[in-house]
Chain A
Amino acid sequence: MEMPVPDQGVLERKASIVARLEQLLPGEAVISDPNETRAYECDALTAYRCQPLAVVLPGTTEEVAACLKICHEEGVPVVPRGAGTSLAGGSLPTADSIIIGVSRMNAVLETDYDNRFIRVETGRTNLSVTGAVEQNEFFYAPDPSSQLACAIAGNIAMNSGGAHCLKYGVTTNNLMGVRMVTMEGEIVDIGGAHLDAGIYDLLGVICGSEGQLGIVTEATLRILRKPEGARPVLLGFDRSEVAGACVADIIKAGVLPVAIEFMDRPCIRATEDFAHAGYPDVEALLIVEVEGSEAEIVEQLDKIKTIARKHDPAELRESASAEESAAIWKGRKAAFGAMGQINDYMCLDGTIPVSQLPLVLRRMEELSKEYGLDVANVFHAGDGNLHPLILFDANKPGDLETCEAMGAEILKLCVEVGGCLTGEHGVGVEKRDLMLTQYNEGDLEAQVRVKDVFDAKWLLNPAKVFPLITTRTRREAA
């Protein structure tokens, strides 16, 4: 992975920069000992590591602003960090960078059920947002798989999704406002408890900008009343194409399940060995979940079962109790852990038009043979967001490189059939160099202009999102 050459001047001034930060923040909030900064050398994309110059963990928005002001004056790159769970290397440091982490800022600032929002500091984890309101039967809808650990800050940076976004949308559809600190150290409020923007939709641009436009310290999030109940049905098919056709038919019939999850045979088998969920040994398995009152659940499931039967399923298992529902979800939820148990894997995140599913699955099988690495598929079928897991052996020389090359081919395939490189994980450093397969230089130039406006010196979250070559002149001029 090519990274920009660290600024020698900044590296030499480490002591004075750290001293300025230490004057500002309580002692334990500035970490500069290389033994301690090691914990921050990577995120969940562990193949790439680099120790930062220092790490600061401010406790307030004002402290974040003061740190950014210093970094701006000193010309020090800044890498914002939430919980460090990015699979795309979204918070990979550079050697000359200061990490500003929001993990100490995790308070709930305001909860307003009547107006259906919660305002939190962004170091708070995704699941604990729901945790703060579930005693009143409310929830926060976006539910990335890492929701136990990942922070709202990172969810906003990557515009994270989850299994239930077919019905409830992704982060950007549930984010109402932010308090953000600009690279110059200015605190701005955008949006709030009201809807939509007065002038330009800056909130919409900030969400998904991978920490390159500012550091978001507070967020106003939409909360929803929990449905009365939910129940899944499990469908097994002998062919993936048939499972794909079944998904399209369910959607066309006007049923909008909250989740449609897909697993293929390699994934089912690995999961069974690990979690013993009792899944049938079929080519493709769907878990379709619907919500509502008892009568509504029955009404929707009847429609789904009728459609599924037309596709001659090898298995049709409707949950009859909370225990059975849990059993149906057990394997799906354990899938990533199960794969990790048997192998190293790389998790991809491309999205495709759902109509292209059969073609893409077939091409992936061919690529798997060509590269000699197995692929297991587990993904959100309703919205076409694939998560192929390429299995490799990190201890075998060259295997990671083969895996990355194959991953790139799969993502190019996603773009070719009308999809995109990343549906919910973000570009980070991981997919940076593939951006030109999806966008031409003019398209990227338009995005880079936005960065120019927010961060004229190009200091925020360096080397992410854009191929280095497309931004070199700007970075050098800044």
Chain B
Amino acid sequence: MKPKSEQELADAVKASAAKGTRLQIRGGGSRVGLGHGVTGELLDTTGLKGVSLYEPGALTIVAAAGTPLETIEKTLAKEGQRLPFEPMDHRALYGTNGKSTIGGVVAANISGPRRIQAGACRDSLIGVRFVDGDGTIIKNGGRVMKNVTGYDLVKLMAGSHGTLGVLTEVAFKVLPMPEAGATVVVEGLDNEKAGAAMSTALTAPYDVNGAAHLPASADQSARTCIRVEGFDGSVKYRSGQLKELLGSFGDVSIEAEQARCAKLWQQIRDAEAVAAGEGDIWRVSVKPSDGAKLAVLLGDKAQLQFDWGGGLVWVCVPEGTDVRASMNGIDGHATLIRSSEPTAKQLGVFQPEPAPLAKISAGLRSRFDPHGILNPGRMG
């Protein structure tokens, strides 16, 4: 089914709840493969589309959940603005070709390299409307960027993969597009030195908004990339300072050509260094200094990409490898992003929670989806 309005969608969910029909919720389908497979009637959200409010002077945009991400980005670009959190495009990784919807981005809390400075999707999200498993329309938050009125279900909905409700409308705080950007590149560092270099950059007063490390590959030496954005003069100054600061780590250069910079960070954002690999793909969030330690524990068989100053490790390993089993003494969470269904079943896609938290999560699920019809089993 493909409802054309929020009310139609609510009615459809209500009818499904009455019959106990399980629903498989889908936006553009660009992330089919993320989370456990779900069987059920298809609930296509792309009938809900359009930007309902955009006030550039208030840095606010509100759109129906099925609106293509591309439409949002184009609308913002016309006014020289953008989504702060740089959402990743999963199509290369999954080999899909659908158009990502803004609701899908929220449902999976998709962020990119700028997460370290501008926050995740959930940090820019200021309001939601959704339909719960009973078919009730619920709103939380709103369209203003400071709002502590009642509990923050906005955050709860971000990253809940449709298991607590079907998003119908989302509101964001947006930011101005910078006038300029530059990337400081250090060549030839091993993972540990790269971690130290990224930490040095991130603890300097230069407002770094991207810090990634691409280990050496067959045709390219290792690159550690540090990004700054802003007004032209400021970018020149900060990239210059960073070049000097990182000089002791290795050969440093500044890439200031906009198209090349954009391409580089798109590759990092979309984890292209591992997406092309054969095998299972994991996304591991750790304390930044644990990134290089994890690499050592995983050994030579793993292909890696580091983002978030080392705190986000993309891992490609031979099929069936349990990356969590290698995280000895390393805190964080590992998500199995791409694998065969049997491997996903065996290892679990999401990091298992300790019992008291698992009880809370199950409690939330049973209250927001009492009939168990919303993407049942998606999160395990």
Contact = CB atoms under 8 A, between A and B. Distances in A.
Given A295-B237, A435-B150, A443-B139, A204 B144 contact: no
Nearest to A254: B176
A225 B203 contact: yes
B353 A199 contact: yes
B261 interface: no
B288 A202 contact: no
B140 interface: yes
Given A161-B146, A296-B237, A226 B140 contact: no
Contact of B149 (A115, A116, A201, A422): A422
A427 interface: yes
A34 B353 CA distance: 44
Given A251-B176, A449-B367, A198 B335 contact: yes
B231 A207 contact: no
B64 interface: no
A355 B237 contact: no
Interface in A284-339: 292-293, 295-296, 299-300, 303
Interface in A219-252: 225-228, 248-249, 251-252
B331 A450 contact: no
Nearest to B359: A453
Contacts of B354: 188-189
B120 interface: yes
| Consensus secondary structure, chain A interface | loop
B152 A353 contact: no
Given A161-B146, A188-B356, A446 B159 contact: no
A383 B144 contact: yes
B312 interface: yes
Nearest to A255: B176
Nearest to B366: A453
A169 B123 contact: yes
A205 B155 CA distance: 6
Given A115-B289, A447-B140, A227 B205 contact: yes
Nearest to A426: B148
Given A204-B156, A453-B360, A418 B149 contact: no
Given A159-B152, A195-B311, A204-B155, A295 B233 contact: yes
B122 interface: yes
Contact of B156 (A200, A444, A451, A452): A200
Given A355-B55, A355-B57, A439-B139, A204 B204 contact: no
A355 B138 CA distance: 26
A151 interface: no
A423 interface: yes
Interface string B133-147: 000111110111111
Nearest to A209: B151
A421 B149 contact: yes
Contact of B144 (A159, A203, A352, A444): A352
A384 interface: yes
Interface string B327-366: 0000111010000000000000011011011001101100
Looking at A116, A427, A435, which has the most chain B CB atoms within 10 Å of its CB?
A116
A176 to B, nearest CB: 10
Looking at B58, B132, B140, which has the most chain A CB atoms within 10 Å of its CB?
B58
A428 B230 CA distance: 40
Contacts of A450: 151, 153, 156, 364, 367
Contacts of A384: 58, 144-146
A196 B138 contact: no
Nearest to B164: A200
B285 A194 contact: yes
5 contacts: A173-B119, A201-B122, A295-B234, A299-B231, A353-B144
